[in-house]
C-alpha cells in the first residue's frame, strides 16, 4: 500500500501546483488587455524600410571567382550597438548559401558596418541570390534590408 509520506512528498505538490497554476491562468485570461508575447526578440522590434539600413557595394552581377564584398550603412539615429547578421540565400530554393555574424557592432566614426572586419564570400555556383542584412540592437529592436545579385 502507498505510504502517507509518499503522497505528501510527491502527489500533493503536483496537485497544488496544478490548482494554483490554473487559478493564476484563469485570472490572467479574464483581463481583456493582456497579450502573450513569448518571444520578445522576434516581435518587439520594428522592421525597417530601406531608408534605415543600406547595403553598400553590392553589384548586380559577380563572376564565380569574384568575392561578394559589402558594407552596411545605418541611417537610424537611434541605433547605438547591436549584432549584424548577413545571410545569402539561393533565390530558387531559399537555401542558405553562406552567412556571417558580426557581434557587438557600435556606432563610432560613421555608420558603416562591420567595424574592423569585412563580409567577403566567394560563391562558386552560378545562379540568382538574395542577400539579407539584419541588425538586432541591444534593446532587441530589429532593422533589416535585402538585395539581389547573380553569379555567372
Task: Determine which helix (DSSP H) or strand (DSSP E) holds 147, and give its type and residue range.
Answer: strand 142-151
Residue 117 has pLDDT above 90, yes or no: no
Mean pLDDT of 106-118: 79
Nearest CA among 43, 136, 118 for reference residue 82: 136
Residue boundaries of the structural domains of the chain: 1-34, 46-151
Q: Which residues fall within 8 angstroms of residue 127, CB to CB, at 6 or more apart?
A: 90, 91, 92, 150, 151
Residue 125 has pLDDT above 80, yes or no: yes
The grid cell for 16 is: 497544488
149 falls in which pLDDT band (50, 70, 90)?
very high
The torsion of the CA quartet 127, 70, 147, 86, rounded to 10 degrees, works out to: 90
The grid cell for 2 is: 502507498
Percent of the chain with pLDDT strictly greater than 70 = 84
Lowest mean pLDDT among 97-101, 107-111, 115-119: 107-111
Architecture of domain 46-151: Sandwich (2.60)
pLDDT tens figures, 40-65: 544 333 444 446 888 999 999 999 88
Percent of the chain with pLDDT strictly greater than 90 = 34
The grid cell for 64 is: 564565380
How far out from the chain centre does Cα 91 lie?
Answer: 20
**What is the Cα–Cα distance from 48 to 28, expressed in whole angstroms?**
33
Amino acid at each position: 500500500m502507498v505510504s502517507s509520506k509518499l503522497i505528501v512528498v510527491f502527489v500533493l505538490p503536483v496537485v497544488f501546483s496544478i490548482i494554483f497554476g490554473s487559478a493564476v491562468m484563469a485570472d490572467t485570461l479574464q483581463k481583456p488587455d493582456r497579450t502573450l508575447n513569448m518571444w520578445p526578440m522576434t516581435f518587439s522590434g520594428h522592421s525597417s524600410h530601406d531608408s534605415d539600413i543600406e547595403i553598400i557595394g553590392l553589384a548586380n552581377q559577380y563572376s564565380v571567382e569574384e568575392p561578394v564584398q559589402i558594407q552596411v550603412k545605418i541611417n537610424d539615429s537611434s541605433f547605438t550597438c547591436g549584432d549584424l547578421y548577413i545571410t545569402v540565400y539561393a533565390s530558387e530554393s531559399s537555401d542558405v548559401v553562406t552567412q556571417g555574424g558580426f557581434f557587438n557592432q557600435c556606432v563610432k566614426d560613421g555608420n558603416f558596418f562591420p567595424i574592423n572586419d569585412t563580409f567577403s564570400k566567394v560563391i562558386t555556383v552560378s545562379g540568382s541570390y538574395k542577400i539579407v542584412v539584419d541588425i538586432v540592437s541591444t534593446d532587441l529592436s530589429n532593422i533589416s534590408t535585402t538585395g539581389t545579385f547573380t553569379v555567372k
